[in-house]
Structure 1
Amino acid sequence: MSPLLVRADLRTARPYDNRPFPSAGAPVAPLNNNESPFPPRGRHLEALRDAAAGALATTNRYPDTDLTALRTALARYVGHDVRPDMVWPGNGSNEVLLHLLLAYGGPGRTALGFGPTYSMHERIAAITGTRWAAGARGGDFGLDAETASAAVRAHRPHLVFLCAPNNPTGTPLDPATLDAVLSAAPGLVVLDEAYVEFSRLGSRAGMLSDHPRLVISRTMSKAFGFAGIRAGFLLAAPGVLEPLRLVALPYHLSTLTTAVALAALERSEELLAHVPGILAERRRVRDALVRAGHDVAPSDANFLFFDTGGDSTHVASRLAAHGVLVRDLGPAGWLRVTVGSPDENDAFLRTLADSSS
């Protein structure tokens, strides 16, 4: 097909790439995707296998379109008086955000975000033909109430995207900032809580009943270690979620994904038992980076954002050559590293020190 037939706004776009730097063989420390370093093991793995086997016995039939059991289990997991009709599940948080922008964005509409932040918000806006307005964060990567609300008043966006905590910086979201944006926004306020299980502030889902234009996105990819399963969900007032049925493809969540996600939610406390260990490793890696002379942004997530003191692209490329993968997302000089297993974190710190010498 002639490239001239591709939409004009996509002709210069580039596909999503999470590994721009080549590595020699299998990476020894894949710390570029904010994944959990710990897959399900032992009896937990057996329970998930049993759930998958049960689902395979019914795969000649289409999945449940209402996803009642999964919405009920997710509402129970979230708590905060969230009801099943306030939950919209999908194939990871990116898909449910796509549904949201298909329904509430589009040509002639605007979405606002504050960079550096999660790149897929802007990418999904572009896919749906939604204009992206870029607000700025402070020098410490924080976002104060005055700056955020001023940007909202200036752009009058149909959707505002905030991350709590922010990706890639790990910065916590000040509750006052969220309050200010909710007061100023004429449309939906989308709060991305992909890393909320690692956050000391916890979820803002308790605000949903008082703020009918608030939408919260969540995922099982991170703390649950389900990046390969693809299970995410939105939380919002039922009236906000109902139009998503118009834009979602039929049977968009498979029977297998649903069954395994249900089995994981039944064992959520056990599957999330590794989170304190990751937080302890986050403190250890942060302290080591600071001792080595790096500036490190405050993190409320399972990753750290640090200043290389030089050419971050060069540093990331040298790390990758030794099998240590990190992300170079900007601004210049800064890199994001996921907190992995102790061995992976040691490999990162050792290789970074060798690359800097």
Structure 2
Amino acid sequence: MTSEIRALLREELQGLSAYGAPQLDVAVRLNVNENSYAPPTEVVRAVARALEGEIATLNRYPDRDALKLRADLAAYLGHGLTAEQVYAANGSNEVQQQLLQAFGGPGRTALGFGPAYSMHPLLAAGTATGWVDGGRGPDFGLTASHVEAVLREYRPAITFLCSPNNPTGTALSLDVVRAALAATSGIVVVDEAYAEFARPGTPSALTLLEANPRLVVTRTMSKAFAFAGARVGYLAAGPEIVEAVQLVRLPYHLSALTQAAARAALAHADVLLSTVEQIKIQRDRIVAELRERGHQVADSDANFVLYRVARDGSADETDQKVVWRRILDAGVLVRDVGLPGWLRVTAGTPAETSAFLAAVETSDSLPAAVETLEN
């Protein structure tokens, strides 16, 4: 960007970098938490039929309110939800952006607890909403008392809670969500992008919706549904929240093709979600084997694992960027999330997990590096 254009950019956007991860052509890509399993043939055929049914009428605008899709999403979520309590958009990122457009903006603040999803502060900046990082404990946990204290201090218009959290994988107790709702008069958004991968007994904030009109739960079809390329995200909330978000949406924001594809996928939810248990097995395998080798590993309820590159509690002189490069040289792409000393890996197929663990073993056997390599 030239200095002339940079000077014209809004001040709060100057110096920022666009969200993204390296997109490299390597044998094993485990850096963006995709589902490694492609949609089964019967789902591919069902989506193709659904798209074919829409192509002949592409001269017409799609259903502006996506009512049939919203009804299908409500049925999938359960908890007595109806279409009036669900809203869909192009990925959960767009849903969250529209929440910020509706409830944030100049003079208002959004708050999250980092390390968390790095897109949230960028969405805040893009909507001219102030951002506060409330921080987490050294174990990446989040307590109700900490959340309450931070919210009472900053009084945000919007609070983001991630459960399971990205990049740590840790899930939240519902006591934390309740504490947030009690401590603020603003909107509380629980980002549950990875909820389908949670371990048994992990609660969903969906159970709190009926009694809390300021609560929003966002979800996505990108992860568990293996539908990342379709870009479908959604929220569940009270009808008033849905009405408010519709004030800032773009006209006909969700294409007829996207709606048709998503509905076909939801009709085959049992088939698509059959890979979730397989992925959880590989996630738990990664956690167990890395811990056996002496690595510190965050508990995970997601389809990824965050681990410390140094072993046996030793100091992190070995930069995570160097280890990232070593693993890449072994043909495996993982994610450097910018957390000093830590890397994140997506749980994939058994073969991909084996390739990652072999790459880590090779990296661990090399002497500590002193150089820093940029990724």
Q: Does TM, normalized by the shorter one, top 0.5?
A: yes
**Over residues 72-124 of structure 1, what are the superposed CA-to-partner deviations in whole Å (9 max), with x where a residue is unaligned?**
00000000011110111000000011110001011100011000000111110
Asked if residue 169 in structure 1 is aligned to residue 183 in structure 2, the reply is no
Cα contact 1:52–1:260 (8 A) shared by 2: yes
Q: Who is 1:18 aligned against?
A: 21
Asked if residue 118 in structure 1 is aligned to residue 117 in structure 2, the reply is yes
Q: Who is 1:354 aligned against?
A: 362
Asked if residue 9 in structure 1 is aligned to residue 8 in structure 2, the reply is no
Query: Which is further off, 214-223 or 269-278?
Result: 269-278
CA–CA distance in structure 2, aligned partners of residues 213 and 188 of structure 1: 5
Cα contact 1:196–1:202 (8 A) shared by 2: no
Relative distance call for 1:202 and 1:27 in structure 2 (3 A) is: farther
**Over residues 310-340 of structure 1, what are the superposed CA-to-partner deviations in whole Å (9 max), with x where a residue is unaligned?**
3111111222233311111132001111001
Secondary structure of 2:182's counterpart equals helix
Q: Who is 1:267 aligned against?
A: 268
Cα contact 1:172–1:300 (8 A) shared by 2: yes
Q: Who is 2:368 aligned against?
A: none
Asked if residue 319 in structure 1 is aligned to residue 327 in structure 2, the reply is yes
CA–CA distance in structure 2, aligned partners of residues 125 and 321 of structure 1: 36
Q: Who is 2:371 aligned against?
A: none
Cα contact 1:117–1:167 (8 A) shared by 2: yes
Q: Which has the higher contact order (CA 8 A, sep 6+)?
A: 1
Secondary structure of 2:228's counterpart equals coil
Q: Who is 2:296 aligned against?
A: 295
Amino acid at match of 1:125: A
TM-score normalized with structure 2 length: 0.92
TM-score normalized with structure 1 length: 0.96
Query: Which is further off, 184-193 or 50-59?
Result: 50-59
Cα contact 2:33–2:346 (8 A) shared by 1: yes
CA–CA distance in structure 2, aligned partners of residues 2 and 88 of structure 1: 36
Q: Who is 1:206 aligned against?
A: 207
Of the three residues 332, 342, 347, the one matched with 1:334 is: 342
Asked if residue 195 in structure 1 is aligned to residue 198 in structure 2, the reply is no
Secondary structure of 1:308's counterpart equals strand
Q: Who is 2:370 aligned against?
A: none
What is the RMSD computed on CA atoms of the aligned residues? 1.2
Q: Who is 1:90 aligned against?
A: 89
Cα contact 1:81–1:206 (8 A) shared by 2: no
CA–CA distance in structure 1, aligned partners of residues 331 and 127 of structure 2: 36
Q: Deviation above 3 Å: which 4+ runs of structure 1?
A: none
Cα contact 2:174–2:203 (8 A) shared by 1: no
List runs of 5+ in structure 2 lacking aligned partners: 311-317, 366-375
Cα contact 1:36–1:225 (8 A) shared by 2: yes
Asked if residue 80 in structure 1 is aligned to residue 88 in structure 2, the reply is no
Cα contact 1:32–1:337 (8 A) shared by 2: yes
Amino acid at match of 1:130: T
CA–CA distance in structure 1, aligned partners of residues 10 and 339 of structure 2: 29
Query: Which is further off, 90-99 or 325-334?
Result: 325-334
CA–CA distance in structure 2, aligned partners of residues 210 and 110 of structure 1: 25
Query: Which is further off, 319-328 or 139-148?
Result: 319-328
Using the TM superposition, give the Cα deviation of residue 355 of structure 1 relative to its aligned residue in structure 2, in angstroms: 1.6
**Over residues 127-150 of structure 1, what are the superposed CA-to-partner deviations in whole Å (9 max), with x where a residue is unaligned?**
111110111111110000111110
Using the TM superposition, give the Cα deviation of residue 203 of structure 1 relative to its aligned residue in structure 2, in angstroms: 2.5
Cα contact 1:324–1:348 (8 A) shared by 2: yes
Q: Who is 2:373 aligned against?
A: none
Q: Who is 1:284 aligned against?
A: 285
Cα contact 2:188–2:214 (8 A) shared by 1: yes
Secondary structure of 1:215's counterpart equals strand
Using the TM superposition, give the Cα deviation of residue 202 of structure 1 relative to its aligned residue in structure 2, in angstroms: 4.3
Amino acid at match of 1:53: E
CA–CA distance in structure 2, aligned partners of residues 32 and 58 of structure 1: 38
CA–CA distance in structure 2, aligned partners of residues 155 and 37 of structure 1: 40
Secondary structure of 2:274's counterpart equals coil
Give the total of aligned pairs: 353
